[in-house]
Structure 1
Amino acid sequence: MNQTFKKAGYLFAAVSFPALLWAQQPTKNLSLNEAIELGLGHSKKLMLSDAAIEQAEASLTEAKDAKLPDLKVSGAYLYLAQPHLNIKLDLGGNSDSDDGSSSDDGSSSSSEMPKVHQAVYGMVSASLPLYAGGKINNSIKSAEYITKATKLDAENDKEGVVQNIISAYYNLYKADAQLKLVNENLRTAEQRVRDFSNLEANGIIARNDLMKAELQQSDMELAVLDAENNRKITNFNFNLLLGLEDSTQIIIDTNAVGTPAQIEGLADLVGMAKSNRFDYLATVERSQAALYNTKVVQGNKLPTVALTGGYMAADIPNALSAYNIVNVGVGVSYDLGALYKNKSKERSAKTQEKILDIRRQQLEDDIQTEIFQAYNDYNHQLKRLDVLQKAIEQAEENYRIVKNKYDNALATATDLFDADVAQLQARINYANAKADAAVAYNKIYETVGVLNKKVHNIHQAQ
């Protein structure tokens, strides 16, 4: 007897421990707007976008630095070995004999060379560009447009991240709704088994009907296990997306799925996209950058003019000292080779302009396609909601009729269970459709480029 109780205790612990462990996990109540804020702050994609902006701004600063003067400092210290020199100079115009006669005062005509063992010199040179064929200013303009485009890319990435968070949030909503409904059906199935057991014990129904009820209960238990597993996986993925601990159990706002909202007309949405789609605006900025880059390349054929200046000092002990050697001037440089080497570079730059213009046109077509698909998908989801609402009413009425027939021995237990399953499936389908409609609604504004702005405005209104 004690052994039986021990086995029962072990079985209870094995079954209850996972549920107890799940119950002890940290929970977090999370509204949709809170989820979006967390997701935006944790997104690796947006971190990469920020890094790209920093890189573009650094390139812009580098382009502006080309306007600053170049300043170079150089110097050297040299050790010199004693040289052997034999210098013969006729400084006085005398034509004395080659054997080296003495001067009138008796001194030797050769002079002793100074002993030089070291030399030191230093130089400072500066150059300020006055004219570079417009390359400096055009490079700055090109870098400015690239920086703007990179920032617009980041905003476009943000739109996609917000939509992903919304989709994940409603996936969790669907998982919760399904788990709730199958749990309710499981409780109904358990109660039915108890009722059928009493009826079968009193000989009112056949043993076969009780077995069918027990089989349906087992099916519901499996459905609950599947729903719980789906909920855990969805919750885990959402934690990763938001940067929360893996074990955090997220509790979402069940009122997040409200009444379907009205949207603007298709033509209005397309018009909004041209002034709000960040990827389209970024393409326009890159086209401008390419235009100025072409001007930079064309500037290679023009001369460059720079203001130059320098300072030099040198000291050779026992021989020479030179200080305050200052020079100021204007330097001109003209690369004649660019007249025939630059043609291919100009052609490449012009081709890049053409490519970006075609991409812009292609993006315009893609935007219209995306908006059309999102617009029609949302309207499709609204129609599905109407149909599924009627399906719930039909399934509930069908179950009521079949239940009444079964109670009067006019329908089989199989008919009753089929009607019950149909009722459950109709409710699950409707809950999923509500979430899908909410995702489709937000998808429209992502394709227009105002999703983040719209969510932010809603958050402020709340």
Structure 2
Amino acid sequence: MEKKLAGVLCFLLFTILVAHAQPQPRTLTLEEAVQLGLQNSKQLKRSQDKIDLALTRLDQAKDLRLPNAKVGFQYLHALMLSRLVSIPGLTKEPIKLNFDFPAYVGTLSVSEPIFNGNQFKYARQSADLMVQMSRLDADKDKDDITYLVINSYLNYDKILENLLIVAQNMQDVQSKLDEQIKYESQGLATQNDVLRFQLQKSQIQLTEIQLENNRKIANYNMDIILGLPDTTEIILPPVNYRINEQFAFGDLIQTAETNRRELQDLSYQTKMADIDIKKIHDQRLPTVSATGGMYYINPTGDPIPMHNNLLAPLTLGVGVSWNIGTLYTNKNKEREAAVQRRDLNVARDQTLDDIHQDVHQQFMLYQTALEQIKVLQVAVTQAEENERITESKYRNNLVNTTDRIDAQTLLYQARVNLELAKSDATISYYNVLRATGNLMGQGPIGRRPNIK
């Protein structure tokens, strides 16, 4: 008895462990899905690395203002080929040197640039712009990931809605099939009537199999995008379809011109081009530096001499250097930089045209999607009424089985089309926000749009 009880306990414990080991179903709203996508995105982690890299380069540019210091020490062992040295004005008699001549020599030098044609200032400004551009790139990546998650989420919702409608249709068909089988046994329906409903049921089963396969693929892809275990079953609550939003085209254009990342990127590139022009121009200027040095010269064999037989001169000075060749060699470089700067103006105008076209296209697609929903809502109402009338006629032997199945199929297709249109309109809504560069600020994780 005790062995049986122990076996049951072990089995229950094993069952509990297995159940906990399996990933639990996860219910996710659109906002939660976007947050997960941003939190676990490998692309955003790489974007952060780029920002950190740009920040280190900015620190390097700041370090250029620090003094340049060098220290050196060496031991020399020389064999003197000439052992007599006479220095006019310093020695009356020649100085006799040993044949074996060891010496210690140490140097310490410090150089501080005073003026170098503003090159340090331009290097710092360029590095600071690179930091801002890397942060802008990270914002672009956030927009892309947010849109990817939204698009994947809504496409997954489409599949789930289709499965729900298919299940409802299957239930209706199965009910009618059972009814026909009953009527056939009573001699009120033919075998052909039963076969038609069985064929309709088989077609719905094929659709259900295909949709379920698509659901599994979409679920797996969502797990990967959101950084969840790839066996996590994702459950979606009812989606808030964006089918009642109102946009004014002029406001959308203004918002896009303010927020689109492409224009901000071109603005940074223009500032960078202005700095390059100044940098090339100021390369013609001379460089002025303050220098200082200290030397330790010990001509004895002892590292620390004891009898004032070392030299320790200290030097201070100001140095000026001027590459006068830049006065004529930088002319063409300046022309090249000016052409690149001018091209950025043209690129901005071209980008503005592209943005206006994009906003207009997405605006029109959203308006079209709303109009389609209105038509499809009417179509569903009409299909429901048609199915009701056809059902009544069938029961009174005024229409045949084919007409009855056709009416039901039309109703099923109308419902599917309406749900797909709602999802497509919601995707189109977020396309409008993306076209204005405002997906992050007024999308699913931000405040509601205030554009009217």
TM-score, normalization by structure 1: 0.85
Aligned equivalent of 2:258: 275
Matched, 1:414 2:399: no
Taking a change above 3 Å as real, the CA distance of residues 394 and 57 of structure 1, as seen in their structure-2 partners, is: same
Counterpart CA distance in 2 for 1:281 and 1:64 is 25
Shift in Å, 1:155: 1.4
Q: How does 1:48-447 map to 2 (within 5 A)?
A: 48-80=46-78, 82-85=79-82, 87=84, 113-257=97-241, 259-263=243-247, 265-317=248-300, 321-447=309-435
Which residue in 2 is equivalent to 1:13? none
After superposition, the C-alpha distances for 1:166-211 in whole angstroms (9 at most, x for unaligned) are 1111111101100111111112222222111111111111111111
Q: Is the 8 A contact 2:84 2:95 kept in 1?
A: no
Preserved contact between residue 257 and residue 263 of structure 2 (Cα < 8 Å): yes
Q: Quote the residue 1:45 is aligned against.
A: 43
Matched, 1:454 2:437: no
Letter in 1 for 2:372: R
Partners of 1:114 and 1:318 within 8 A in 2: no
CA distance in structure 1 between the partners assigned to 2:313 and 2:343 by the alignment: 54
Letter in 2 for 1:389: Q
Partner amino acid for 1:44?
K
* Shift in CA distance, 90/121, structure 1 to aligned 2, threshold 3 Å: closer
CA distance in 2, matches of 1:148, 1:111: 67
SS at structure 1 position matched to 2:75: strand
Other structure's SS at 2:238 match: coil
Deviation at residue 384 of structure 1 after TM alignment: 0.7
Q: Distance in 2 between matches of 1:215 and 1:132?
A: 87
Contact 1:36 1:162 in 2 (8 A): yes
Report % sequence identity.
33
Measured after TM superposition, the shift of residue 257 of structure 1 is 2.2
Give the deviation of 1:395 after TM superposition.
1.1
Query: Which sits farther off after the overlay, 137-146 or 211-220?
Result: 137-146
Partner of 2:29: 31
Whole-angstrom CA distance in 2 between matches of 1:111 and 1:155 = 76
- Deviation for aligned residue 1:214: 0.7
Q: Which residue of 1 aligns with 2:305?
A: none
Structure 1 residue 157 displacement after superposition? 2.3
Q: CA separation of 1:88/1:63 partners in 2, compared to 1, >3 Å: closer, same or farther?
A: closer
Counterpart CA distance in 2 for 1:134 and 1:358 is 29
> Which segment drifts farther, 290-299 or 248-257?
248-257
| Structure 1 residue 393 displacement after superposition | 0.7
Change over 3 Å in CA distance of 1:25–1:206 after alignment to 2? farther
Q: Which amino acid aligns with 2:117?
A: G
**Distance in 2 separating the partners of 1:121 and 1:54:** 43
Unaligned stretches of 5+ residues in structure 2:
1-18, 303-307
The alignment yields a C-alpha RMSD, in angstroms, of: 2.3
Please give the per-residue CA displacement for 1:273-303, whole angstroms capped at 9, x wherever unaligned: 2222222112112201110111111121111
Distance verdict in 2 for CA 1:237–1:251, change over 3 Å: same
Spell out, residue by residue over 1:119-166, the C-alpha distance to the aligned partner (whole angstroms, 9 max, x if none): 211111111111111222122223222322221222122122212211
Q: Which moved more, 1:143-152 or 1:26-35?
A: 143-152
**1:25 CA drift (Å):** 5.7
Whole-Å separation in 1 of the counterparts to 2:309 and 2:338: 57
- The structure-2 alpha-carbon separation of the partners of 1:168 and 1:46, relative to structure 1 and needing over 3 Å to count, comes to same
Q: Which sits farther off after the overlay, 443-452 or 29-38?
A: 443-452
Preserved CA contact (<8 Å) 1:128 1:308:
yes
Using the size of structure 2 for normalisation, the TM-score is 0.87
Structure 2 Cα separation of the partners of residues 88 and 414 of structure 1: 126
Structure-2 separation of matches of 1:110 and 1:49: 73
- How many pairs are equivalent? 418
In 1: Cα distance, 2:242 partner to 2:253 partner: 26
Alpha-carbon spacing, 1:225–1:89, altered in 2? closer, same or farther (3 Å) = closer
Is there any run of 5+ residues in structure 1 with no aligned partner, and where? Answer: 1-20, 92-108
